Amino acid sequence: MMMEKDSVKARKTILISGAGIAGPVCAYWLHQYGYEVVIAERARTLRDGGQNVDIKGAGQQVIRMMGLVERIEARNTLEQGQKYVDATGKLVAVFPKGAFATLTNDFEILRGDFAQILFEATVEICDYRFGTFVTSLEEKNDSMSVTFNDGSVEDFEFVICAEGIGSATRDMILPSETSFRYLAAYMSFFKISRRPGDDGWAYTVNGVDGTFITLRPGNETETTVLVTFIRKKHDITWENQGEAKGMLHDALKGRGTVADRISAELETVRDFYFGPMSQVRVSRWSSGRFVLLGDAAYCPTAFTGEGTALALVGAYVLAGEIKRSTHYAEAFKAYECLVRPYVQSSQNRMNPLLIRLLHPRSRTAIALTHMVQKILASDCVQRRFRLGAVKRERKIGEDFIFPDYR
Ligand SMILES: Cc1cc2nc3c(=O)[nH]c(=O)nc-3n(C[C@H](O)[C@H](O)[C@H](O)COP(=O)(O)OP(=O)(O)OC[C@H]3O[C@@H](n4cnc5c(N)ncnc54)[C@H](O)[C@@H]3O)c2cc1C
């Protein structure tokens, strides 16, 4: 007993870079296993932006094991379903919650609310440092020496990089191992102010030249926005907000009333998430005392609806393997072996053809898309496909068998 206590004490602290979804979940489990954790977050405050995230399949199991289900259910957006409207706001098709092909699931939580719940579950047990990021790393024999943006230098047992798709620290350590599968579209998530007409439904509009817009219920004062649009070239990065907003204004111009409303508020939006719709593919997820987690390692893209589930599963497995292995290299290898096939099957399900179909460009293609939406929403199609959807959901729930780390 004494030896176990001493060996826990002798451990150095672990650094997690990125306080999104994957970082705090991994921190929670590492703390359960007796580790001290520092979380560095580049933003000055917790980023509470985004629309609804899907917590499905194995990801739900992680949430259950963390005892967070009730807190998540209490923040359910209670979205009633999804309506497709045309550029003037006229109704095209209605997909209530539970319908085949609707966006609305049982577990409907805003990404920001989920991030807040994870933060609350870990703030007392980890050392959160906002406005902090890594500027360089140096691997030593028994630690990783990290220099932060304020010039301070600290040694950590190892570094877990959970910085999301545009991770800068990943690009310092594994630049040639990292590639992006660009799906020829850009995406953006943010919130705008809520208007009296915003009810409990999600509204989706297909605009000309391949602009896809969805507004979804947020909170009492805000409505959440997703805008994606086709762009052949992958030419602007995650860093340049001014250029990003300019590009988004162009994608919204002349796309109808919903687009005009968004454009009018764009300059004042709070947490702007914008970038190329790309999958992240890294040929190996670790190097020495450095390991990647979540979107930084294996972003599947938002249209799969699986980025959060992969982050949850990856975080749980990485922490568990760190707990049960005698050496970090063994832990990182086991984590990658277990999680990579799960990631690959998710990434491979995303077909660029689907992106093109969701973003019709000409008025004729949009009219055809409206016809398909009406057919899909019709009673006879719904009756036929709903049963199949239930079966598929069940399969997703059985998609990853967890090792037992307890
Ligand atoms: C503001 C925001 C809104 C989002 N909205 C949606 C959405 O509506 N729908 C959806 O499907 N997905 C959304 N995502 C992505 C989604 O959260 C992820 O796909 C998924 O949950 C995996 O989470 P992650 O923790 O790996 O990455 P993320 O959730 O992207 O978190 C990464 C965190 O790392 C921080 N970070 C970045 N660089 C550094 C650095 N150098 N040093 C320290 N910290 C750094 C970021 O600020 C962020 O807090 C959003 C992400 C963000 C940040």
Q: What is the pLDDT of residues 94-123, one digit of tens each?
A: 999 988 888 888 778 999 999 999 999 999
Q: Which atom of ligand 1 is nearest to the CA of 21?
A: 25
Whether residue 141 has pLDDT greater than 60: yes
Q: Which atom of ligand 1 is nearest to the CA of 305?
A: 11
Span from the CA of 301 to the centroid of ligand 1 (angstroms): 12
In this structure, are strands 134-139 and 52-54 parallel, antiparallel, or unpaired?
unpaired
Q: Look at residue 10 in the predicted model and tell me its pLDDT.
A: 53
206 forms beta bridges with 212
- Give dist(CA 281, CA 126) in Å, integer: 29
The answer to whether 152 and 140 have CB atoms below 8 angstroms apart is no
pLDDT tens string 142-177: 999 999 999 999 999 999 999 999 999 999 999 999
**pLDDT-above-90 percentage for the chain:** 77
Q: Which of 48-52, 55-59, 158-162 has the highest mean pLDDT?
A: 158-162
Whether residue 11 has pLDDT greater than 70: no
Span from the CA of 232 to the centroid of ligand 1 (angstroms): 24
Q: Which of 45-59, 88-102, 261-275, 288-302 has the highest mean pLDDT?
A: 288-302
Span from the CA of 141 to the centroid of ligand 1 (angstroms): 32
pLDDT tens string 232-251: 888 777 667 888 999 999 99
Higher pLDDT residue, 390 or 190?
190
Point out the least confidently predicted range of 10-14, 353-357, 380-384: 10-14
**DSSP code of 20?**
S
The answer to whether 331 and 322 have CB atoms below 8 angstroms apart is yes
Band of pLDDT at residue 45, cut at 50, 70 and 90: very high
Q: Look at residue 389 in the predicted model and tell me its pLDDT.
A: 58
Residues present in the chain in total:
406
Point out the least confidently predicted range of 50-54, 121-125, 211-215: 50-54
- Give dist(CA 204, CA 91) in Å, integer: 10
Mean pLDDT calculated for residue range 75-89: 94
Cα–Cα distances in angstroms (integers) from residue 51 to residues 63, 78, 270, 299, in the given order = 19, 13, 13, 17
Q: Look at residue 2 in the predicted model and tell me its pLDDT.
A: 38
Mean pLDDT calculated for residue range 23-29: 98
Mean pLDDT calculated for residue range 126-138: 98
Instruction: Name the strand (E) or helix (H) holding 243.
Output: helix 241-252
pLDDT tens string 279-338: 999 999 999 999 999 999 999 998 888 999 999 999 999 999 999 999 999 999 999 999
Band of pLDDT at residue 67, cut at 50, 70 and 90: very high
The answer to whether 187 and 241 have CB atoms below 8 angstroms apart is no
The values of phi and psi at residue 397, to 5°, are: -60, -20
Span from the CA of 20 to the centroid of ligand 1 (angstroms): 5
**What is the three-class DSSP state of 313?**
helix
In this structure, are strands 127-130 and 37-41 parallel, antiparallel, or unpaired?
parallel
Span from the CA of 224 to the centroid of ligand 1 (angstroms): 16
- Give dist(CA 325, CA 297) in Å, integer: 21
In this structure, are strands 178-193 and 159-161 parallel, antiparallel, or unpaired?
unpaired
Whether residue 3 has pLDDT greater than 70: no
Q: Which atom of ligand 1 is nearest to the CA of 110?
A: 8
The answer to whether 162 and 30 have CB atoms below 8 angstroms apart is no
DSSP assignment of 325-368 equals: -SSHHHHHHHHHHHHHHHHHHHHHH--HHHHHHHS--SHHHHHH
Q: Which residue has the tokens 């990125």?
A: 18
Band of pLDDT at residue 383, cut at 50, 70 and 90: confident
| Ligand 1 neighbours by CB, cut-off 6 Å | 17-23, 40-43, 47, 49-51, 53, 111, 133, 162-164, 167-169, 189, 271, 273, 294-295, 299, 302, 307-308, 311
The average confidence (pLDDT) of the chain is: 91
Q: Look at residue 104 in the predicted model and tell me its pLDDT.
A: 86
Ligand 1 pocket test: pick from 170, 226, 295, 316 the residue with the most ligand atoms within 8 Å of its Cβ. Answer: 295
The answer to whether 213 and 259 have CB atoms below 8 angstroms apart is yes
Higher pLDDT residue, 310 or 54?
310
Mean pLDDT calculated for residue range 195-208: 95
Domains and CATH numbers, the chain: 2-352 (3.50.50.60)
Burial (Cβ within 10 Å: 0-12, 13-18, ≥19) of residue 75: middle
Query: Helix count (H) and strand count (E) of the chain?
Result: 14, 18
Span from the CA of 399 to the centroid of ligand 1 (angstroms): 24
Band of pLDDT at residue 398, cut at 50, 70 and 90: low
Q: Which residue has the tokens 């690959």?
A: 344
